[in-house]
Structure 1
Amino acid sequence: MAASQQMGRRLPEIPQEKKKNVLNGGLMPTLGSDTLWELAAAEVESRETGGGEEEETVHERSVFLMGSKAGGKTSILLRCLDRDEPPKPTLAMEYTFGRRARGHSTPKDIAHIWELGGGTSLSDLVQIPITPVSIRSLSVILILDLSKPNALWGTMEKLLQATQAQLKKVSAQAQQAEKAKPGAKHQTLVHSAARILPKDYPDRELISPFPVPLLIIGSKYDTFQEFDSDKKKVISKTLRFIAHYYTASLIFTSIKSESLISKTKGFFSHLAFGLDRGKTVSCDATKPLIIPAGCDSFSQIGSPPIADVDITSLHARNPMDLWKKVYERVFPQESTSEQRELKDPAKDPQYSEPQIDAVRVQKDQELEQYKRNAAKSWKGLELDT
């Protein structure tokens, strides 16, 4: 009986001027409660409803990296993560992660990073990083090799189309799953750029925002800057149009330039850890392009750069198709048939392991012998029947 009375007893009154310092070191707002229990209950309710000023949970984001084959994706990623190690060719889909501390006493932010290898040949693997869980905080980075303009449009088009299709599919699945939960509140799982664009966003009614934050990186700028000025103009204006059309950020970079890598890292850290991406803007075609999303417009980009050709004769269905036809007039796109032929990694000299390779050869021979014996047995079985 005494115990129950003790449990039901009110705690001593807390002076009004000290109430705000009881919890969270002064972060708790002054409440009209009279007991510590009521103050604690109010704090828990505040955290559950998102009213707390300081989050203690670990922030996790996902970044999907894709682009041109041998376009420098891994090299750029390692530099952005401050990892001093030699880059290796990416096999299919590879995963890594990055961490960043927000403070001495707070958990680290985590970025889950998926890198797609093989250029466009393995675009079906986009289903691995794009899931109902990852799309809640997913960003996409498309790296295009500026030194190979004849493969640029095809790479961009196929990879973005495959990514958009998977995002649409997963978003629909996730929304159906949420609606199926009893009493679940409706929530938007894909952070669609179309839903967050301000009313004064340039060309808002003419663009097609990418479903998740998108960063386009033009790699190997050191080689690109040696191109003829007219060709550089076509590539630069075309990528500006694509980036603005998809509400993406655009930056040209080179691993040989510390300044450009530093600015590229700023864009990467913005997607991976939510940091400020910087305020630098450069739309000059004679210099590396650095254009955050929302800092460009169709009026600034201008019309497709092509001479001695009547644009109306190209019979384009829409602006994107028009820019594609103009670009391919200047840079005929290479066939992608060769890109689909992947080299067997087991036969690649750089992954040579003598002992393992010897066993592999033996097993391959045993497999061939087994196939021959099985074929003979099936033939004999057919004759008996």
Structure 2
Amino acid sequence: MCRYSGNVCDGLAFSCLASLSISTVMPKISSDTLWEQAAAEVHSLDRGGKEEDGGETVTERTVFLIGSKAGGKTSILLRCLDRDEPSKPTLALEYTFGRRARGHNTPKDIAHIWELGGGTSLSDLVQIPITPASIKSLSVILILDLSKPNALWGTLEKLLQAAQARLEKVFSQAQQAERAKPGAKHQTAPHSAASILPKDYPDRELISPFPVPLLIIGSKYDIFQELDSDKRKVVSKTLRFIAHYYAASLIFTSIKSESLMSKTKSFFSHLAFGLDRGKTVSCESTKPLIIPAGSDSFSQIGSPPSTDVDITSLHAKNPKDLWKKVYERIFPPETTGEQRELKDPAKDQQYSEPQIDAMRAQKNQELEQYKRNAAKSWKGLELET
């Protein structure tokens, strides 16, 4: 279930054949047929997501938004794209795009933007935006709802694991395809730690960089401020650890704060259009965190906040596991909500359509009646035999 929206074809529905990540801006070619235009677009993506426009190079990037259900992903995205329109619940997986001109009468750079709805329940859909064509210029934005700290670790863990597993599979397929080409030489996997981190990167040997650029956004900071100061410190230190462990950037924001949204937009524009993300750094737990990748270190973060927890009794396998156990002692995972979400979006109340649901219920009843009649017929045949 995908919804396509944009300045040109806003509101039109496309099927999930959009896994090809077809650009909304077609290259200038002489053919008038849709299939030839699509073929030319695929060729342009194979050349690294760039196409020529009057002698200028048009850069195309892909940004994939994942995160907490009802965590404010759409609202943040609309603000980052300067779109003054009301946000709506994301229907499973949605696509939109952003364009930015570098100057007067110059071609516009394009950002293909995918947004995954449903929190962790639809994590299988990561395979649609993460493709061999998109990984060359892909970035991931993880938006976590700070107002629900008990669901925070489970959300980030499941979504990052799903995205990382898909990325590793696609990288492996791309490598195999490269090796299969005549005269191809062995190459280091794209986005490996050796290729994306400088030698002086803090704790370079102790971290596990995410395969593509990663930005973690803590949303609803205005509500988060109402929590107890000790609990805020636990959440802040934990997210600092996670961000540094994955070599990611981290920022806390609220759509009610113009200042925070301005800084958030800078981080977004850095991933979507390659712009400068700014030099502001804030690591104090009493203030909104603003930490660009490479600006933190394990020594600055310190040990897990274990005021009421005996770390030696936790039997952690590694530092990340230790932080998880400490965090979940303070914020026990919820037994309801996203962990028990229905896998079928058709049964989700936020997507309810009374007339369609009534018709579906009727058809389900007819199907059950058909099954019962069919079962009786088979029993009759067995008796005759």
Q: Same fold (TM over 0.5)?
A: yes
8 Å contact 2:121–2:343 — kept in the other structure?
A: no
- The match for 1:273 is 273
8 Å contact 1:194–1:209 — kept in the other structure?
A: no
Residue-pair matches, total: 335
- CA distance in 2 between counterparts of 1:222 and 1:306 reads 26
1:355 to 1:161, Cα distance in 2 relative to 1, 3 A: closer
- CA distance in 2 between counterparts of 1:336 and 1:154 reads 12
- Matched AA of 1:245: Y
8 Å contact 1:146–1:220 — kept in the other structure?
A: yes
User: In the TM superposition, what is the alpha-carbon distance from 1:193 to its structure 2 partner?
Assistant: 4.6
- Matched AA of 1:226: E
- The match for 2:80 is 80
- The match for 1:218 is 218
Q: In angstroms, what is the RMSD of aligned CA positions?
A: 2.6
- CA distance in 2 between counterparts of 1:55 and 1:89 reads 41
- CA distance in 1 between counterparts of 2:105 and 2:92 reads 38
8 Å contact 2:120–2:338 — kept in the other structure?
A: no
- The match for 2:246 is 246
- CA distance in 1 between counterparts of 2:70 and 2:150 reads 14
- CA distance in 2 between counterparts of 1:275 and 1:173 reads 31
- Matched AA of 2:157: E
Which structure has the larger Rg?
1
- The match for 2:67 is 67
> Which digits, 9 at most, give the CA deviation of each residue in 1:86-122, with x for residues without a partner?
2121222222221222234433211111211111122
1:264 to 1:338, Cα distance in 2 relative to 1, 3 A: closer
- CA distance in 2 between counterparts of 1:380 and 1:125 reads 44
102-111 or 58-67, which deviates more: 102-111
Q: Superposed, which structure 2 residues align to 1:52-201 within 5 Å?
A: 56-184=56-184, 190-201=190-201
72-81 or 311-320, which deviates more: 311-320
User: In the TM superposition, what is the alpha-carbon distance from 1:288 to its structure 2 partner?
Assistant: 0.4
8 Å contact 1:136–1:191 — kept in the other structure?
A: no
8 Å contact 1:194–1:211 — kept in the other structure?
A: no
- CA distance in 2 between counterparts of 1:109 and 1:334 reads 42
Segments of structure 1 that go 5 or more residues without pairing to the other structure are 1-49
- Matched AA of 2:70: A
Task: State the TM-score, normalized to the length of structure 2.
Answer: 0.79
- CA distance in 2 between counterparts of 1:70 and 1:237 reads 24
101-110 or 80-89, which deviates more: 101-110
268-277 or 77-86, which deviates more: 77-86
1:307 to 1:184, Cα distance in 2 relative to 1, 3 A: same
User: In the TM superposition, what is the alpha-carbon distance from 1:57 to its structure 2 partner?
Assistant: 3.2
8 Å contact 2:119–2:338 — kept in the other structure?
A: no
- CA distance in 2 between counterparts of 1:374 and 1:353 reads 31
- CA distance in 2 between counterparts of 1:383 and 1:58 reads 72
Secondary structure of residue in 2 paired with 1:286: coil
User: In the TM superposition, what is the alpha-carbon distance from 1:283 to its structure 2 partner?
Assistant: 0.8
- The match for 2:17 is none
- Matched AA of 2:269: S
Task: State the TM-score, normalized to the length of structure 1.
Answer: 0.79
1:296 to 1:118, Cα distance in 2 relative to 1, 3 A: same
Secondary structure of residue in 1 paired with 2:222: helix
Segments of structure 2 that go 5 or more residues without pairing to the other structure are 1-49
Secondary structure of residue in 1 paired with 2:58: coil
1:55 to 1:62, Cα distance in 2 relative to 1, 3 A: farther
151-160 or 215-224, which deviates more: 151-160
- CA distance in 1 between counterparts of 2:98 and 2:335 reads 36
| Percent of paired sites with the same residue | 87
8 Å contact 1:95–1:115 — kept in the other structure?
A: yes
User: In the TM superposition, what is the alpha-carbon distance from 1:136 to its structure 2 partner?
Assistant: 0.9
User: In the TM superposition, what is the alpha-carbon distance from 1:81 to its structure 2 partner?
Assistant: 1.4
- The match for 1:293 is 293
8 Å contact 1:135–1:189 — kept in the other structure?
A: no
Q: Superposed, which structure 2 residues align to 1:312-331 within 5 Å?
A: 312-331=312-331
- CA distance in 2 between counterparts of 1:60 and 1:368 reads 50
User: In the TM superposition, what is the alpha-carbon distance from 1:338 to its structure 2 partner?
Assistant: 5.3
User: In the TM superposition, what is the alpha-carbon distance from 1:332 to its structure 2 partner?
Assistant: 1.1
